[in-house]
Amino acid sequence: MTTTTRNVPHRGITALLTLVVPLLVLAAALVLVLSWRDELPAEVATHWSNDGVDQVGSAAGMLVTFSTIVVLFSLAMWALGTFAGQAAMTRRFVAGIAVWLAIFLGGILVVTFDAQRGLTDARDATGIGGGVVVTLAVAFAAGIAAASVVPRDPHRPAHSALPATTTTLPLDVDTRATWVRTTRQGHAWLIIAAIAVAAVGLGIATDWWIGLILGVGLTPLLMLLSATVVIDARGLMARTAFPWPRITVPLDEIEDVDVVRVDPMGEFGGWGIRTALDGSIGMVLRKGEAIEVRATGGRRIVVTVDDAATGAALLATLAGRER
């Protein structure tokens, strides 16, 4: 852990975006809500169903629960970014999601209590759908903004040659080469249709905004529709059907290249573009062969792709030229 920690750059910014900003957002929401305490009913509405309020409870209980979630989650994201944040992608992810959650839950508190100001019976409170959707939109925008202000990885060229055992291709030094591999999901339209049906169905069965949230929430699944890996004189680039997030590793920062077998669930806790607890980052879309890259700063990158051997050999060949 010590080596890893030493190599994590920009820890101050990580602390700012995963702890300071989310906790300030939470504090602001709490101050605002508490300033309304004389206007609120004795028991507040804490849950809505189709026909209106279906649960009431103590305001304090709700505030404590939401605050605890935000604090614990922020701490977890800070720890991940500080101890496993070798790659900029991880630091962007923790900053974005910490800010997103604080604004989302803080916003829900504000919207929930605002709808009950001046009421004596919380059951008279109107629906909060519109407020929830606005909160979600603001939370997404702020999360993306937080992720985008995270500094990129500093340029850290490798000083040693690649291990002599690394497999390379017999290419002339003047030969330019590229290796592109795109994997498509055969049942792409099924996934899209399932998402649409689920969102519209839930929207009709319950409330339009619940359907909207489900639809938006499931959209990231679409990125699993295709995956592209490109290896060329710029290094390694891996992305899904979306142009962003993408994984890039410049050639001169590569220390070693290998072909490995990876289990996305076991190592990364799922599929997609992900960070593992040890700070490894990966585009892992299935179990099986993958290109594994070790880069300066203690970074490890894993990318699942068919014919990984050819890709890895070309990457090693091009990286070797840089030394």
Partner 1 sequence: MLLTIDPAAPEPLFEQLAAQLRAAIAAGTLSAGDRLAPARDVAASLDINLHTVLRAYQELRDEGLVELRRGRGATVAARADDAGLRDAGLRAAIDTLVAESRRLGLDPRTTTALVKEALR
Nearest distance, CB of residue 259 and partner 1, angstroms: 15
Using rule CB under 8 A, residue 309 touches partner 1:
no
**b vs e for 8-39, b when ≥16 Cβ sit within 10 Å of the residue's Cβ?**
bbbeebbebbbbebbbebbeebbeebeeeeee
Task: Single out the segment in contact with partner 1 by CB under 8 A; choices: 75-83, 89-97, 175-183, 211-219.
Answer: 175-183
Nearest distance, CB of residue 319 and partner 1, angstroms: 15
Using rule CB under 8 A, residue 175 touches partner 1:
yes
Count of positions on this chain that bind partner 1 (CB under 8 A): 18
Q: Kindly give the pairing relationship between strand 235-240 and strand 272-275.
A: unpaired
Give the bridge partners for 44, in sequence order: 57
Q: Which of residues 32-91 bind partner 1 (CB under 8 A)?
A: none
Please check whether residue 88 is in contact with residue 153, taking contact to mean a CB–CB distance below 8 angstroms: yes
Choice from 35, 172, 266, 270 touching partner 1 (CB under 8 A): 172
Q: Is the peptide bond before 41 cis (omega within 30 degrees of 0)?
A: no
Q: CB nearer to partner 1: give 144 or 171.
A: 171
Looking at 187-271, which runs of residues are DSSP E strands? 226-232, 235-240, 246-250, 254-262
Nearest distance, CB of residue 169 and partner 1, angstroms: 8
Binding string to partner 1 for residues 181 to 220, with x set by CB under 8 A, is what? xx--------------------------------------
Q: CB nearer to partner 1: give 181 or 300.
A: 181
Q: CB nearer to partner 1: give 155 or 176.
A: 176
Which whole-number Å values give the CA distances from 153 to 164, 185, 237, 297, 299, in the listed order? 27, 31, 15, 9, 11
Choice from 13, 27, 30, 171 touching partner 1 (CB under 8 A): 171
Q: CB nearer to partner 1: give 159 or 176.
A: 176
List the structure tokens of 61: 């209980």
Q: Which of residues 225-284 bind partner 1 (CB under 8 A)?
A: 230, 232-234
Residue 10 CA to residue 232 CA, distance in Å, equals: 29
Residue 259 CA to residue 246 CA, distance in Å, equals: 20
Is 288 strand, coil or helix? strand
Task: Single out the segment in contact with partner 1 by CB under 8 A; choices: 28-36, 68-76, 167-175, 192-200.
Answer: 167-175
Please check whether residue 229 is in contact with residue 181, taking contact to mean a CB–CB distance below 8 angstroms: yes
Q: CB nearer to partner 1: give 280 or 317.
A: 317
Using rule CB under 8 A, residue 178 touches partner 1:
yes
Which positions touch partner 1 (CB under 8 A)? 169, 171-172, 174-182, 230, 232-234, 310, 314
